[in-house]
């Protein structure tokens, strides 16, 4: 993902509208590109800050909230990749189980 594409996805990211693959590409870019990360932070602070204008809780820490948001995304992506690995492992195990059962059935038919 290049910077232009990344910047176009900042708002969809903040609105939770990216699909899993876009989210993964987006986060990878954000982690390696300081400029886009700063843009994301500015957008986040502005959009969340506007929402907080009516909020009486002045101690709310936006910058901490931003870091939490990124870390939640990271946790989500890790869980997603773990689920994919487990699904792949389960597929592989069931394939081989079926394969072995088929061979045993064939052997019984032949012998």
Chain residues that interact with Zn ion, rule: CB under 5 A: 3, 6, 33, 36
| Identity of the residue, 4 or 50, whose beta carbon is nearer to Zn ion in the bound complex | 4
Shortest spacing between CB 6 and Zn ion, in angstroms: 5
| Identity of the residue, 7 or 52, whose beta carbon is nearer to Zn ion in the bound complex | 7
Q: Which of 34, 32, 46 is nearest to 1 (CA)?
A: 32
Q: Which stretches does DSSP call E strand in the chain?
A: none
Shortest spacing between CB 33 and Zn ion, in angstroms: 3
| Identity of the residue, 6 or 27, whose beta carbon is nearer to Zn ion in the bound complex | 6
Shortest spacing between CB 36 and Zn ion, in angstroms: 3
């Amino acid at each position: 993902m290049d910077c232009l594409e990344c910047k176009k996805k900042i708002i969809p990211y903040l609105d939770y509208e990216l699909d899993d693959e876009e989210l993964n590409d987006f986060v990878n870019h954000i982690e390696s590109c300081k400029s886009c990360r700063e843009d994301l932070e500015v957008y986040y602070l502005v959009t969340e800050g506007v929402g907080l204008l009516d909020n009486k809780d002045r101690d709310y820490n936006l910058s901490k909230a931003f870091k939490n948001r990124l870390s939640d995304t990271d946790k989500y992506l890790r869980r997603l990749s773990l689920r994919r690995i487990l699904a792949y492992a389960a597929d592989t195990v069931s394939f081989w189980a079926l394969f072995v059962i088929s061979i045993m059935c064939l052997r019984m038919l032949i012998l």
